[in-house]
Structure 1
Amino acid sequence: MKKYVRLNDLGYVSRGRSQHRPRNAPHLYDGKYPFIQTADITKSDLYITSYSQTYTEAGLSQSRLWDAGTLCIANAGVNTGDNAILGFKACFPDSVIGFIADKSKCNVLFVKYYLDVIKPQIKSITMGATQDNLSVSKLLTFDIPNVSLEIQNKIAGILSAYDDLIENNNRRIALLENMAEELYREWFVRFRFPGWREAEFEKGIPKGWELQRVDSLGKIITGKTPLTSNEKYYLGNIHFIKTPDMHGNMFIYETEEKLTEDGLKSQPSQILPKNAISVSCIGTGGITSITTQRCCTNQQINSIVLKNENDLEWAFYTVKGLKETIYAFGSTGTTMTNLSKGKFSGLKFICVPKYLRDEYHMLTCPMFKEIQRLTQINNMLAKTKNALLPRLISGKLAVEDLAVQLPPSMHPKIA
């Protein structure tokens, strides 16, 4: 038996289709057929369960409907190599490669996890003059271990057990986030706060509530990138936050790049404490997250070091709600937002009385702490899975040995 095979030996491989020009023609969209894009793949963990766009019948006619279970692989731009499995029938464009597994030869989860292992190699051969691009022919140059279906199923079962735990925690995080945000909207957007029936209103807002500037919340700090040519500044354990680290994360527990103590101290006026609120203001504007350790950000991010940490939960949603304002004030005439520190500091919001902010803090602080706890658990699970992944795939760690290394609560059911 051959030790390695190519992806097309294990199933059907083809690029997606989106043949209409122009691609943004309105009649193609807002129908009933899910249309998956590379960003939908990137934000998914194991399965694609949501989407941001749909096709009409006209859109479908110039594309193709792929079955649930199709492995979607992003093949263009910064998302190149990211992959996830369709949880429903959907279309996708030619910036996505689809793989339909031959179930008699492979487990699609095994293939997905193997592509995760070799993603750095995939990205290294796709770097072009303008943007990364992974063609089908390039993808088919990679060898895939030709192990038995039984072993594939066992490896997939072990690794997917971690993903199942992570996904379960993500659902709990989403529920808590929704509860806290809905309470914020009820009290501070719809003005149905405790005692609202007796409140007086002036110009559409409760009397005593007033417009204030963002810098009234605390000190505004704009990030700066430490000198990249100095090797002593990088590969440490201190967060260096960039906008991609913030996407989908209320709390930042992991960053792609990390600094040493020397790297952090090289930017003394940019050092942020725990519980600073960071907001992307250049590029994709309005992404909002909370720091979890002493850290710093790049220059695309402005952060608020709060005067009163009891305002954290209320201030987080207040600043997050300024996203459209950030777009408007940071408009450059192109698709990119560019909001200076001065403009960000001067953005206005409705400040509510301290007693209501304190009440909101008492109700939502436990929710935020539980979100933090679950996020930390997920990071631990992801690190453990990522450490096991290459060892299991390569055969350096035998499947039979793994159950001994896992805590009893984490023992997966092996297929």
Structure 2
Amino acid sequence: MSKWPVSSLQGKLHIKHGFPFKSEYFSDGGHYVVLTPGNFHEAGGFKRQAGKEKYYLGDIPEDYLHSKGDLIVAMTEQSAGLLGSCAFVPDENMYLHNQRLGLISTDQKKLDKSFVYYLFQTKSVREQIRLTSTGSKVKHTSPERLYAVTAPLPKVDEQKKIAAILSALDAKIDCNNRINSELEAMAKMLYDYWFVQFDFPDSNGKPYKSSGGKMVYNATLKREIPEEWKDKQLIQIANITMGTSPTGDSLNDVGDGVEFFQGSTDFGWQFPTVRQYTTQPVRMAKRGDILLSVRAPVGDINVAHINCCIGRGLAALNSKDGFDGFLFYVMQHFKTIFDRRNGQGTTFGSITKDDLHSLSLAYPTPELLKKYDDVISSYNQMVFTRSMENQQLAQLRDWLLPLLMNGQVVA
């Protein structure tokens, strides 16, 4: 039971439709990015689409270039759970207001914009949006349907206090993510430098290839690699478990059985999000395993933070030699290859067990792998610690959200 008066959003906010930008002016490069529902996280928040952006080279109509801090809402459910998701535009003079999105403005005497962002994350509001949507396969909503949504609405001063509490938790999560991104970028840069460019430290501490280290042609890889390195297939360096989905009647969302991840739709920033459980697990991944998406988008990866069951959209990998940090960046490197081929028009709808097993790579000496592992193990531990903290912060935020919105906890 809410302590706040319940009313509709009619007259308190306004939603402006986006512009139908013409696909003939879309490009893989440019400055202005056309936003889509794919730029939203299901639970709310802006999702950058690095390498997948649609740039626009045509004329831009007045008032359809977003400002930093604009609040936008997904009006089309491009994938399950996105309808009604909100996000703040993160940058100025870069993103275009597309037709499938709504731009939210509020009567500041009645509604705080940050409060609206969190209001649209509540189950009650999302359920109202879903029930009033149109379309059988792809669901749509409209400004009028969103105006009709009812919710407990405290006075604006209280709205701002509620939003401030939830925003503080999100800010800490974002800070951790940015630190993790820097740490991962450093580890990836070292991987590229040592294992792609072959400029690892030689016996004198100098860059191997740049200092004239001996390179030999490898017929399997069809390129030169350092003299003591070997060509190997992925199955030779990794234990690989292909996922198999359990029966549908074993699945539930009440915590009965083992955590189950079907595919990349369950992926988070670093770890997957638990949505389902199964009482009849078939294929299991161990805590610390790399989870690889084997269906479109092929190559996306997460790390299993718990022992879990994996469905047919995933494979689980761990290193046979104990060099999981190296294996993680090997899989990230393969992901760039898949993305490059996708960009050239060779779309990977899935990758088979045989194809995955036979992926070839240049494999370094054990001594170099040990040296790399010594360097990045501390990075990985810091990333893991912050990622686990983020899960706890997100759980706290999601627990507080309905209580604050209903007035059961006073800000």
**TM-score, normalising length: structure 2:** 0.84
Residue among 215, 218, 225 paired with 1:201: 215
After superposition, the C-alpha distances for 1:175-205 in whole angstroms (9 at most, x for unaligned) are 1111111111111111110111363111332
Partner of 1:116: 121
Question: Structure 2: which amino acid aligns with 1:359?
Answer: K
Say whether the 8 Å CA contact 2:234–2:361 is kept in structure 1. Answer: yes
In the alignment, the residues of structure 2 paired with residue 249 and residue 68 of structure 1 have an alpha-carbon distance, to the nearest angstrom, of 23
Partner of 1:81: 84
Say whether the 8 Å CA contact 2:70–2:89 is kept in structure 1. Answer: yes
Q: Cα distance 1:44–1:365, how it changes in 2: closer, same or farther (>3 A)?
A: farther
CA positional deviation for 1:384: 0.6
Say whether the 8 Å CA contact 1:221–1:304 is kept in structure 2. Answer: yes
Question: Structure 1: which amino acid aligns with 2:280?
Answer: G
Question: Structure 2: which amino acid aligns with 1:299?
Answer: R
Q: Does 1:182 align with 2:189?
A: yes
Partner of 1:407: none
In the alignment, the residues of structure 2 paired with residue 60 and residue 53 of structure 1 have an alpha-carbon distance, to the nearest angstrom, of 17
Greater displacement, 49-58 / 287-296: 49-58
Q: Cα distance 1:182–1:325, how it changes in 2: closer, same or farther (>3 A)?
A: closer
3-state SS of paired residue (1:303):
strand
Residue among 318, 335, 341 paired with 2:353: 341
CA positional deviation for 1:281: 1.5
Q: Cα distance 1:7–1:91, how it changes in 2: closer, same or farther (>3 A)?
A: farther
Say whether the 8 Å CA contact 2:251–2:276 is kept in structure 1. Answer: no
Q: Cα distance 1:11–1:49, how it changes in 2: closer, same or farther (>3 A)?
A: farther
3-state SS of paired residue (2:245):
coil
3-state SS of paired residue (1:321):
helix
After superposition, the C-alpha distances for 1:231-278 in whole angstroms (9 at most, x for unaligned) are 6797337332233356453344x322233xx332xx1xx122122222
In the alignment, the residues of structure 1 paired with residue 26 and residue 252 of structure 2 have an alpha-carbon distance, to the nearest angstrom, of 54
Q: Does 1:107 align with 2:116?
A: no
Partner of 2:365: 353
Say whether the 8 Å CA contact 2:25–2:57 is kept in structure 1. Answer: no
The structure with the largest helix share of the pair is 1
Question: Structure 2: which amino acid aligns with 1:207?
Answer: E
CA positional deviation for 1:122: 2.6
Q: Cα distance 1:222–1:91, how it changes in 2: closer, same or farther (>3 A)?
A: same
Residue among 1, 11, 19 paired with 2:13: 11
What's the RMSD between the two structures over aligned residues? 2.9
Q: Cα distance 1:49–1:277, how it changes in 2: closer, same or farther (>3 A)?
A: closer
After superposition, the C-alpha distances for 1:303-341 in whole angstroms (9 at most, x for unaligned) are 2232122x111111111211255569999x985512111
Partner of 2:221: none
After superposition, the C-alpha distances for 1:66-120 in whole angstroms (9 at most, x for unaligned) are 3333211112221222211123343121211110223233211101101000224
Q: Cα distance 1:123–1:373, how it changes in 2: closer, same or farther (>3 A)?
A: farther
After superposition, the C-alpha distances for 1:46-65 in whole angstroms (9 at most, x for unaligned) are 46778753655624139812
Q: What is the identity percentage for the equivalent residue pairs of Structure 1 and Structure 2? A: 21
- What aligned pairs does 1:14-413 form with structure 2 within 5 A after superposition? 14-20=16-22, 23=23, 25-26=24-25, 30-42=29-41, 46=45, 53=53, 55-56=55-56, 58-61=58-61, 64-76=64-76, 77-78=78-79, 79-87=82-90, 88-89=92-93, 90-117=95-122, 118-126=125-133, 128-195=135-202, 196=208, 197=211, 199-203=213-217, 204-230=224-250, 235-236=255-256, 238-245=258-265, 247=267, 249-252=269-272, 254-259=273-278, 262-264=279-281, 267=282, 270-309=283-322, 311-326=323-338, 335=347, 337-399=349-411
Greater displacement, 124-133 / 299-308: 124-133
In the alignment, structure 2 segments of 5+ residues that lack a partner are 203-207, 218-223
Q: Cα distance 1:120–1:169, how it changes in 2: closer, same or farther (>3 A)?
A: farther
In the alignment, the residues of structure 2 paired with residue 239 and residue 346 of structure 1 have an alpha-carbon distance, to the nearest angstrom, of 30
In the alignment, the residues of structure 1 paired with residue 364 and residue 252 of structure 2 have an alpha-carbon distance, to the nearest angstrom, of 45
Aligned residue pairs, count: 386
